[in-house]
Structure 1
Amino acid sequence: MRKRIISLFLILAIYIIASNSTFYTYTIGQNNKWKITQDAYLVSEIILEDAGLYYPEDMYLEGGKLYIADSGNARIVVYDLKTRKYSEVGEWSLFTPTAVFVDDKYIYVADAGLSEIVIFDKEGNEIRRIGKPKSILFGQYTKFKPKKVVVDKRGNFYIVSEGSLDGIIQLDRNGEFLGYFGANKVRITALDKFIDLFYSKQQKERLLTRTPKPYFNIAIDDKGLVYTITQKERGDAIKKHNTLGNNILYLSRLNLMVDEENFVDITVDKEGRIFALTETGLIYEYDQEGNLIFSFGGRAISYDKNGLFSVASSIEVDEEGKIYVLDKEKGIVQVFNPTVYALKIHRALDLYMQGKYIESKSIWEDVLKYDGYSSIIHNGLGKAYFQEGNYKYAALHFKVAYNKREYSNVFWEIRNQFLQNNMKAILIVLFLIFIFYEIVGRILKLKNYKLKITIKNKLLSDIFYLKNILRHPIDSFYYLRKGTYGSILSATIIYGLFAIVVIFDYMGRSFLFNLNTSERSVGYVLLSTIVPVFLWVFSNYLVSSITDGRGTLKNIYIFTAYSFAPYIIFQPFIIFLTYILTYNESFLINFGSFFIISWTLIILFVGVKETHDYHVKGTIGSILYSLIWILVIVLVFSIVYMLWDQIFETVYGIIQEVLYRVR
């Protein structure tokens, strides 16, 4: 009976927590995949329901008060979080306030409708207005529509103006134009680079509009670092600017952040953690380096629920870690309180960011009980073990966190320790191998004896003929065409070897250099390897039939297989090197793979030329036409597949109709 009562209390407690839950809290787990984790925040209350907010655009938290840019009512609402009372500022001075910023003395309001920054004191008295800069450098015809504004400790203004492509407008305390701050870079795609090769300057000016994307919102921290968000960007939607305007957010510079394309607001807490809000109500929390900690919230579609929003527009964080989110459509603010789980992670992160990795270890281990697969937890533990010198466990945690860069540093230490402990044995083994090689060489030389291995089996001889392709490709392809060497069976076996090497190259590399980031299956890799090869064989045969090539379908099938000789023989050594080298030596892996693939393509080129007896120009044409034929075949197959699917559905519908009428 007692157990049943306890169980009932537990169920009731879970229900109460779940009722305040923000649906689900997500984080990044193993292999950089999204996963559900413990609730990081719970909605504690909803405020300003009776304030009559009408399409509020922005919010700022300062001194225990919320300042809300109530755009629809042309006012600033000041809500005291202690007394639960609110007052109004600027109800006769503003038109469409879209942003508010507050410091120790003043309230700064960006009013896009007035095209001005309106400044009030804390009592609500208007102090002055700052309009369009009169500087020649700003430009006579440049628009000034301030949408967002922040002010640093020196009194300088940072203004996001509607449609400004040159960056953030920077003004001094007197409203004088200082210049543009931290403009976005123009993205040049592969297509743009291709167009640049063929278009004239006049054509590019007329047809191409390459302009940087404007910033959407802005924030500033206590250190004077400016944070911006850019919409319709992925990987670097959030930027952290230093005083020169350069982006110093590590993952953002690498275009590797987990972010969204529809961020509408951003804020920073006292510890430097970044909070970004999407219009759909998703809240993203990052550490100082741009690593995702949590993502929660969302849009209320069919019904209202705590933690969900209709149209979210602004976010703020107080000193206790509470999050305030403004709902533009409902005209309310929801308050989120951090759970014990979130507070522990914050504490561990604070120590982590201070470089106190060992001190943070016990907290990380405690948090690991809540979620054993969170990347940020394993990342913290990896750092702690790394500082302790426990490289084995550090590598394990960095691997779970999918942190390849830190794993590389740990692996370097592990490799260094191994070499230091075993260097004598390694040198002795190498010396013995060298001595053995020299002795055998001298004995054979004294006896004037040449070691020659004769392979009597025809099939084995054909397979080992691969090595001749490397040394004498022209002569080797001649003998393949004549039928002296090579057969359908040997070529098929070589294709099998090629497929095995491709599978190991794609799926068998070490963690640092693994290419299988999408976790493709062996069947997928095999299909995506073999199908293009056979399409090439068939397409090249069609082209050679038209262009008087001398090679038959059998010849093409055989020489294509033997063309893979460099890849089959040498790529396994590159795969082996991935287990020895670190990120700092990745050049050797990349260059080696590039060299081997280039060598393979050159041999394939020679094979086409010698098999079909083409000149260089004819060989190039044959290869290009074969590639075009491959595209045509793929296109036709796609069309037939779609039509067949529709025909099947139509026939099935007719049969169903007939059966229904027969009944």
Structure 2
Amino acid sequence: MIRFITVIAILVCSLSLFGWNSTYLTYTLTGNSKWKVTQDAYVVSEVLFADYDLYYPEDIFIKDGKMYIADSGNARIVVFDLETREIETIGDFSLWMPTGVFVSDRFIYVADPGTSEVVVFDKKGKEISRIGRPKNILFGEYGNFIPRKLVVDKRGNLYIVSEGSSEGIIQLDINGEFLGYFGANRVWIGFLDKFIDLFYTEEQKSVFLSRIPKPFTNIAIDDRGLIYTLTQNENGNAIKKHNTLGNNILSKSKSNQMVDEPNFTDITITGDGRILALTETGLIYEYDPEGNLIFSFGGRAISTERFGLFSVASGIACDEEGKIYVLDKERGLVHVFNPTEYTNILHEALNLYINGKYLESKETWQKVMTYDGYLRIAHYGLGKAYFQSGEFEKAAVHFKEAYAKAEYSDAYWELRNAFIQKHMGLFLLVFVIVFFLFTVLSRMRSKKSNAFRISIKSRLVRDVLYVKNMLRHPLDTFYYLKSGDHGSVLSATILYLIFFIVVLLDYFGRSFIFNLNVSDRSVAFVLLTTSGITVLWVFSNWLLSSINDGMGTLKDVYIFTSYSFAPYILFQPLVIMLTYILTYNEEFLVDFISFINIGWSFVMLFTGVKEVHDYDIKGTVKNFLLTLGWIFVMILVISIVYMLWDQLIDTVYSIIQEVLYRAR
């Protein structure tokens, strides 16, 4: 009995240590950007202010062991000592609706949109000054000054997020003088917007087009004085890290955008530069200083109140020990998250990596891998460590797991260089032998050409191999295809199959460095898209040529189109093989040769239209453009039908039901 009780006690203690209070899951990203449940990153240790009447608190800030809360509904700042647990209040009779609070070494700054002022207190809670709307003529007569959030740098300059201000962050000096706007968002103008510009008047553009930059919704500052901002509904660019010029230095390419949420509500920066962002629904995203996602955890309490889940989250802060404090606006609570051992080890490895101590971080990253072997950032850190130590093969393995193409390419370059140097003599010997054999065979063939000519009796095989003639004699080839001397429906069908195989290899068969990032596309999708466009081309070109006195039949169009793909069919496989030899720095060769192959095929297609339909240049251009235009229209119609398919089915079903009902 005693042993049984002891075992139960051990189990209870173990559950409390390993996340008994964890009512949520922690997620991370694998190398191929797939979400995965990982070890608990944080566990809730306590919930504060359960017996205190916080009313719609909007912001939270931690400084020197004290927590400052903008208790908006009660029009005050609540100061909570994290060590003594004593509570004080500031601004009870001078604030109207505080929504932002920032604490420097000397002062407490409060953004109060109720009075449209920034109110400054000393550390004892005595009001020092009020900073209102700037009177500088550069600020503008109609500029918005409704402070909601703010930060202050070490020089005393204020950076203010004003409600509805699309010009950017309002920057004031220590005396409240306007210094200018900082880091405004940009307006993205797409192809449709540029197209509309050609036809709309300025008045119509002002009515139908909204080209006002999105306003910032929150702001933070790190120990180095760099400004961070949040913008809601800004996919892939919601978080910005601004340099001194206001430019975003977290900017990523489209293929490597930050993982974010459209409803971020607050942001804070830890002492070691990690970024913590909070959504209104209670999700907490943790990033490294470069904007790479580490964890995502938390969430919304839907039916019951549970630790670590929120009704409406509004603020986040972090203390020197790495604890995270999250403010629940609706319930007036602060949830305290403690980092687990797993997280502490990861942070240690990350700090070593950030400081450039790649070799020193290797052992720590290996400890992290014992907790989660799929963590992208751990593979990346290990790859850097192995690369630094000259273990390029291991570095390449981890860079590939982290999906870090550029770094993988660097490791592969080192491996390729070592391989070439080791086998240089063998390469030279093979080159000399091949060159000698090629020279001898060329001379023998020139003397006895008939002896080396292979006779192919199968008409089908000859027709398929006839595709090579397209490269040297395209005009003659199209002539003989149309006359029926060469080519057939069956040979054309075989060429189409080969073409589709090459397309699939081009999409899915390239090396890791040059793959096209099409993990969201299936073989069936690529095959259906390619074959669909090809079918649309054949029928559209035939129909339009029939209307415009073209001489080619449907069979002619079907055959010449397949032979027009000759450059792509014959040379693109060489490009695919090159991707396994070249590195990222030689990417231009792959792109250039691919462009040549595709462009050459289009030239062949254009020539085929001219020769088969017996058009002049003007007629060929007209037919070619009309065919492409008709294909675009058909794709547009098919897309609309596809999007409205459910409504169409419901409509048809309703009509049938109505007919059956009336037939009774």
In the superposition, the TM-score normalised over structure 1's length comes to: 0.93
Q: Does 1:501 align with 2:471?
A: no
CA contact (8 A) 1:247 1:253 kept: no
**Aligned-partner Cα distance in 2 for 1:304–1:451:** 86
**Aligned-partner Cα distance in 1 for 2:5–2:541:** 77
Q: Does 1:460 align with 2:461?
A: yes
| 2:611 corresponding residue in structure 1 | 610
Which secondary structure state, in structure 2, belongs to the residue aligned with residue 490 of structure 1? helix
**Aligned-partner Cα distance in 2 for 1:421–1:503:** 35
| 2:554 corresponding residue in structure 1 | 553
| 1:512 corresponding residue in structure 2 | 513
Show CA shifts across 1:404-445 (max 9, x none): 121111111111211222222222322332233334444555
**Aligned-partner Cα distance in 2 for 1:103–1:92:** 22
Q: Check 1:196–1:599 CA distance in 2 against 1; reply closer, same or farther (3 A cut).
A: farther
Which secondary structure state, in structure 2, belongs to the residue aligned with residue 31 of structure 1? coil
**Aligned-partner Cα distance in 1 for 2:648–2:140:** 61
Stretch of structure 1 that moved more, 77-86 or 530-539: 530-539
Partner letter of residue 538 of structure 1?
Answer: F
| 2:541 corresponding residue in structure 1 | 540
Show CA shifts across 1:552-602 (max 9, x none): 111111111111111101111111111112222212222222222122122
Q: Tell me the CA shift for residue 364 of structure 1.
A: 1.3
**Aligned-partner Cα distance in 1 for 2:441–2:159:** 78
Which secondary structure state, in structure 2, belongs to the residue aligned with residue 95 of structure 1? coil
Which secondary structure state, in structure 1, belongs to the residue aligned with residue 240 of structure 2? strand
Q: Check 1:445–1:270 CA distance in 2 against 1; reply closer, same or farther (3 A cut).
A: same
Q: Tell me the CA shift for residue 641 of structure 1.
A: 5.4
Partner letter of residue 162 of structure 2?
Answer: S
Q: Does 1:361 align with 2:362?
A: yes
**Aligned-partner Cα distance in 2 for 1:559–1:276:** 58
| 1:282 corresponding residue in structure 2 | 283
Show CA shifts across 1:283-309 (max 9, x none): 000111111110000111122211111
Partner letter of residue 268 of structure 2?
Answer: T
Q: Check 1:252–1:525 CA distance in 2 against 1; reply closer, same or farther (3 A cut).
A: closer
| 2:429 corresponding residue in structure 1 | 428
Stretch of structure 1 that moved more, 391-400 or 641-650: 641-650
**Aligned-partner Cα distance in 2 for 1:229–1:593:** 40
CA contact (8 A) 1:94 1:111 kept: yes
Q: Check 1:585–1:201 CA distance in 2 against 1; reply closer, same or farther (3 A cut).
A: farther
**Aligned-partner Cα distance in 2 for 1:399–1:371:** 17
Partner letter of residue 593 of structure 2?
Answer: G
Partner letter of residue 489 of structure 1?
Answer: L
**Aligned-partner Cα distance in 2 for 1:343–1:397:** 22
**Aligned-partner Cα distance in 1 for 2:607–2:254:** 43
Q: Tell me the CA shift for residue 190 of structure 1.
A: 2.2
| 1:163 corresponding residue in structure 2 | 164
What fraction of aligned residue pairs are identical, expressed as a percent?
Answer: 59
Partner letter of residue 307 of structure 1?
Answer: G
| 1:306 corresponding residue in structure 2 | 307
**Aligned-partner Cα distance in 1 for 2:105–2:301:** 37
Show CA shifts across 1:595-649 (max 9, x none): 2212212221222222222333433443444445445655366489547744886
Show CA shifts across 1:92-128 (max 9, x none): 1111111000011110011112111110001111001
Q: Check 1:573–1:145 CA distance in 2 against 1; reply closer, same or farther (3 A cut).
A: same
| 2:578 corresponding residue in structure 1 | 577
**Aligned-partner Cα distance in 2 for 1:652–1:417:** 73
| 1:319 corresponding residue in structure 2 | 320
| 1:526 corresponding residue in structure 2 | 527
Stretch of structure 1 that moved more, 449-458 or 18-27: 449-458
Q: Check 1:88–1:253 CA distance in 2 against 1; reply closer, same or farther (3 A cut).
A: farther
Q: Check 1:113–1:519 CA distance in 2 against 1; reply closer, same or farther (3 A cut).
A: closer
Q: Check 1:479–1:439 CA distance in 2 against 1; reply closer, same or farther (3 A cut).
A: closer
Show CA shifts across 1:190-230 (max 9, x none): 22233345556675566533232221111111111111111
Stretch of structure 1 that moved more, 238-247 or 438-447: 438-447
Partner letter of residue 392 of structure 1?
Answer: E
Which secondary structure state, in structure 1, belongs to the residue aligned with residue 24 of structure 2? coil
**Aligned-partner Cα distance in 2 for 1:63–1:53:** 22
Unaligned runs of 5+ in 1: 658-663
**Aligned-partner Cα distance in 2 for 1:643–1:60:** 51
CA contact (8 A) 2:237 2:251 kept: no
CA contact (8 A) 1:236 1:253 kept: no
Which secondary structure state, in structure 2, belongs to the residue aligned with residue 32 of structure 1? coil
| 2:479 corresponding residue in structure 1 | 478
**Aligned-partner Cα distance in 1 for 2:69–2:23:** 23
Q: Tell me the CA shift for residue 470 of structure 1.
A: 2.1
Which secondary structure state, in structure 2, belongs to the residue aligned with residue 465 of structure 1? helix
Which secondary structure state, in structure 2, belongs to the residue aligned with residue 369 of structure 1? helix
Show CA shifts across 1:642-662 (max 9, x none): 4774488669999x99xxxxx
Q: Check 1:648–1:562 CA distance in 2 against 1; reply closer, same or farther (3 A cut).
A: same
Which secondary structure state, in structure 2, belongs to the residue aligned with residue 464 of structure 1? helix
Q: Check 1:413–1:476 CA distance in 2 against 1; reply closer, same or farther (3 A cut).
A: same
Q: Does 1:393 align with 2:394?
A: yes
**Aligned-partner Cα distance in 1 for 2:254–2:444:** 61
CA contact (8 A) 2:240 2:251 kept: no
Show CA shifts across 1:517-574 (max 9, x none): 3253333322222222123222323323333322211111111111111110111111
**Aligned-partner Cα distance in 2 for 1:11–1:487:** 77
When the two chains are superposed, the root-mean-square deviation of aligned CA atoms in Å is 2.8
Show CA shifts across 1:334-381 (max 9, x none): 000000111110011111111111211111112211111111111111
Stretch of structure 1 that moved more, 463-472 or 374-383: 463-472
| 2:407 corresponding residue in structure 1 | 406
CA contact (8 A) 2:299 2:309 kept: yes
**Aligned-partner Cα distance in 2 for 1:162–1:618:** 60
Q: Tell me the CA shift for residue 387 of structure 1.
A: 1.1
**Aligned-partner Cα distance in 2 for 1:581–1:448:** 38
Partner letter of residue 362 of structure 2?
Answer: K
Q: Check 1:10–1:403 CA distance in 2 against 1; reply closer, same or farther (3 A cut).
A: farther
Q: Check 1:463–1:6 CA distance in 2 against 1; reply closer, same or farther (3 A cut).
A: farther
Within 5 Å, which residues of 2 pair with 1:56-455?
Answer: 56-199=57-200, 204=205, 207-249=208-250, 251=252, 256-444=257-445, 452-455=453-456
Show CA shifts across 1:487-544 (max 9, x none): 0110010011001101111110011111253253333322222222123222323323
Which secondary structure state, in structure 1, belongs to the residue aligned with residue 224 of structure 2? coil
Q: Check 1:366–1:649 CA distance in 2 against 1; reply closer, same or farther (3 A cut).
A: farther
Q: Check 1:205–1:3 CA distance in 2 against 1; reply closer, same or farther (3 A cut).
A: same
Partner letter of residue 190 of structure 2?
Answer: T
Q: Check 1:101–1:391 CA distance in 2 against 1; reply closer, same or farther (3 A cut).
A: same
Q: Tell me the CA shift for residue 251 of structure 1.
A: 3.9
Q: Check 1:252–1:505 CA distance in 2 against 1; reply closer, same or farther (3 A cut).
A: closer
CA contact (8 A) 2:565 2:601 kept: yes
CA contact (8 A) 1:481 1:555 kept: yes
**Aligned-partner Cα distance in 2 for 1:608–1:132:** 69
CA contact (8 A) 2:326 2:336 kept: yes
CA contact (8 A) 1:251 1:291 kept: no
Q: Check 1:83–1:52 CA distance in 2 against 1; reply closer, same or farther (3 A cut).
A: same
CA contact (8 A) 1:287 1:293 kept: yes
Q: Check 1:439–1:478 CA distance in 2 against 1; reply closer, same or farther (3 A cut).
A: closer
Partner letter of residue 335 of structure 1?
Answer: V
Which secondary structure state, in structure 1, belongs to the residue aligned with residue 423 of structure 2? helix
**Aligned-partner Cα distance in 1 for 2:155–2:593:** 54
**Aligned-partner Cα distance in 2 for 1:210–1:250:** 21
CA contact (8 A) 1:221 1:272 kept: yes
Partner letter of residue 63 of structure 2?
Answer: E
**Aligned-partner Cα distance in 2 for 1:327–1:82:** 21
CA contact (8 A) 2:162 2:170 kept: yes
Which secondary structure state, in structure 1, belongs to the residue aligned with residue 179 of structure 2? strand
